[in-house]
Amino acid sequence: MEILRPFTSTPRTELFKIQASLHAVSASQVHIDFHISGPLEQILWPDPHLIEARQDELWKHTCLEAFFSSSATAEAPYTEINCAPNGLWNAYSFSSYRQGMSPALHITVRLKERTARQDHAHFLIEVNSSVPLQTGTWGLTAVVEFQDGEKSYWALNHPRETADFHDKRGWKTES
């Protein structure tokens, strides 16, 4: 499991620990695990949803995210996965750093498991693609919105002066 770090450390973010891992099941399927520990009642969770479907702008609220690419260069294309804890999701393709964004229609996302106790939540996200996923370089991130509307941005690393999950310098590359 990789430890995600908040962009800004505050007394509130110090109460939480977020860990995530990525596991390639096959060339066209990836599982992403997220574990959130801390006083979960402080998090503003999205309302339950009966149908897990695509939705835009999930990143504006509590959302679990992953990014995949074949290369760590800014010019290389990449995929962004968003999954809300209620199962709403989306997938986007980018031609290069924040350029050429379009829906990744070859990808589906499913919140396969979600469990919560008083101080720990676990989410298992399944990503399926009709074409091989390029996962040589990847980033795992989360947006956590608190009950008072404050948001925190969590990632493996934060290489910029502002939170930017798209910056591949904050991602990992498999050797």
CATH number of 109's domain: 2.60.40
Query: What domain count does the chain have?
Result: 1
| Domain-located, residue 174 | no
Domain of 115, in residue numbers: 2-163
| Domain-located, residue 157 | yes
| Domain-located, residue 173 | no
CB atoms within 10 A of CB 122: 15
Q: CA torsion angle for 67, 72, 78, 81 (degrees, to 10)?
A: 0
pTM for the model stands at: 0.95
How much is the mean pLDDT over the chain? 96
Q: Kind of pairing, strands 17-26 and 2-6?
A: antiparallel
Per-residue confidence (pLDDT) for residue 175, from 0 to 100: 64
Task: For residue range 34-70, list pLDDT tens digits in order.
Answer: 999 999 999 999 998 888 899 999 999 999 999 999 9
